[in-house]
A and B are shown apart, each in its own frame.
Chain A
Amino acid sequence: MSALSFERLGKSYGEAEVVREVSLTIAEGEFVSLLGPSGCGKTTILRMVAGLVAPSRGRILIGSDDVTSLPPNKRGLGLVFQSYALFPHLTVFENVAFGLRRRKVSGAELDLRVKEALARVRLDAYGERFPRQLSGGQQQRVAIARAIAPQPRVLLFDEPLSNLDAQLRDEMQIELKRLQRGLGITTLFVTHDQGEALSMSDRVCVMAKGVMQQFATPEDIYHRPATGFVASFIGRPNRLSGVVATRDGQGGSLRLGSGLTLQAAHIDAAAGAKVDVVIRQEAIRLRRGQPEPDAIAGTVALRSFSGARVQYVVKLTDGVELIAETPSSGPDSALDPGTPVSLVIDAGSIFAMASEGAAA
């Protein structure tokens, strides 16, 4: 049973096509993220689902109902905005009661369901306050309570955590995921933050320039990116330019501009083609000392400590610079600049795609 599906959904503004033929099916109770850089069409898709933007082409189905031409108030959805969008003139209680009152819930049941929704976001004691008397995090929790109180068929989130500071954002990610699992409401979550998308979702839909790049589990998105765009967008990539030397099945070997040759598991171009090579920072392992046979020699140029992780800028013998990331504890966490190192890169973490422009 699919809870939400798009069939060849598209949106154009004049000549500009912002969403191009997106088709996907989200299962009942599933948490799906739309992930992509700004301008990739993810928010437009969300607003089309909510009924705030009319699609140019295609259909939107909730359950088995075609809602493509229904106004927002007839769709039975819950929407949480980046800006919270609380009713500033109503108390927290009345904000949460708003959707219920529209569904003709009243009296003791209204009271019960509002309190239940507020309890779910741990704001039981705040019913009488006005939104302006709450912190940003509390306001966003009220917005979530307001969206879930009428028990919508689908919950939509539009970058809900982007206005919160980092620590609060991490807490809210876990809280939100737990809440969604507890309620079992089908959820579509729009974000540009890959950490958010990967950690919270059952499946992630990566978008670029209006086109769906890949729709898969977070593990597949990270380890088996379907397109060059996904490979370069997910993780922390080093981007280098090179040429495809030989092809071998899915992969082959790549020659970097400097003459260095690397084995890659995924190559999106024919032999001889100019390519962008993507190497994830976290896929590069550093060893102190002179290189082993299949490793690359380099020198630490810079060390940058950021708490749990350490980043090294490593200068290879031919002048190319790569960024490598390691945990901040362990044998390779304290390499001083100038230390000679050897680099081991897993072929499965090297991706190549046709040179910039043709990729996404």
Chain B
Amino acid sequence: MIAPRHGLMLLAPLALVLAGFFLLPVLMMLPTSFREYAPGTGIAPGVWTLENYTRIVTDDYYREVIWRTLGLGLFVTLACLLLGYPLAFLIARGPERWRVPLILLVIFPMMLNLVVRSFGWIALLSNRGLVNNLLIQLGLIATPLKLMFNLTGLMIGLTHIYLPFMVLMLVAAIRNVPRDVEAAAATLGSSRLHVFAAVTLPLSAPGILAGSILVFVLTISALVTPRMLGGPTYKVMATLIYDEYMQLLDWPSGSALSFALTAMAIGVIWLSSRLTKRWAGMA
């Protein structure tokens, strides 16, 4: 065992770096979010206001972006869960010799640059992209489907990018489900399907929760992919914050939106943890 004093010393280097380069700047943003924006010059001197926050709730455009961001996070998380669970189950329970190749396949996309992967989706999803061209040539559709600059495009791209995180979390969790407990359910009269629903699924809840939180948080804070697949007009909170800061130089509003995004993320994590724990009896 490491004594608490030594533990603190081991923690100190990282804690100092985080305090100096993360916590402090974030705290410095807090006063900025209560300042007034002066068009053209940035922050108006000497004026304090709550308007940056009230506008997030009252402004229709901001509200739309917030709901879009939350919806995107939810959809991508669900899609990753639905696509990832069967694959994770196969990796965890399938033949031993498949495990390493399958895991390599799962993490392989992560070795490619994010911009390159997003650009690949543009080539596939644009109006004259591979998917639309193929469908038109097959005679299935007459005019191109709108697969980009909308929710569909973002969902497809982000699901692809964050699926590996979900799968890796789920594999670990499914491998931790004791086989004896499943066997016990079977001898007590459970069919294979019921064993899965009543034992395997709830016992892999920690992985479902961890994977979902990870994917959700990554999705609602993703910048590059939404910018490339959403274009300059179809915005989510991350791209909106970026534009407020870099295009409009509206730092007060950008700061307020940043804190709102953080609060939303924490709120959703807290709620989903409570629900999962109640469902899986972990509370």
Contact = CB atoms under 8 A, between A and B. Distances in A.
Interface of A: 50-52, 71-73, 75-79, 81, 83, 85-91, 98-99, 102-103, 130, 143, 146, 150, 156
A79 B281 contact: no
Contacts of B188: 73, 78, 98-99, 102, 146, 150
B202 interface: yes
20 contacts: A50-B183, A50-B187, A73-B187, A73-B188, A78-B187, A78-B188, A79-B187, A85-B181, A85-B183, A85-B184, A87-B199, A88-B181, A88-B281, A89-B280, A89-B281, A90-B281, A99-B188, A99-B189, A102-B190, A156-B187
Contacts of B280: 89
A52 B199 contact: no
B180 interface: yes
Nearest to B205: A89
A78 B185 CA distance: 10
A73 B178 contact: no
Contact of B189 (A50, A86, A102, A130): A102
B185 A87 contact: yes
Nearest to A89: B281
A89 B188 CA distance: 16
Given A85-B181, A86-B181, A77 B187 contact: yes
B184 A103 contact: no
Nearest to B188: A99
Interface residues of B, number: 22
Contacts of A88: 181, 203, 281
A102 to B, nearest CB: 3
B180 A72 contact: no
* Pairs of residues from A and B, 5 with the lowest C-beta to C-beta distance, nearest first: A102-B189, A89-B281, A99-B188, A85-B180, A72-B186
B262 interface: no
Given A79-B183, A79-B184, A89 B282 contact: yes
B191 interface: yes
Contacts of A143: 184
Interface in B155-196: 178, 180-181, 183-192, 194
A81 B282 CA distance: 23
Contacts of A52: 183, 186-187
Interface in B91-138: none
A89 B203 contact: yes
Interface string B241-283: 0000000000000000000000000000000000000001110
Nearest to B199: A87
Contacts of A78: 187-188
A79 B183 CA distance: 9
Nearest to B281: A89
Given A88-B203, A89-B203, A89-B282, A73 B181 contact: no
Given A88-B203, A156-B187, 4 more contacts: A81-B183, A86-B184, A91-B281, A98-B185
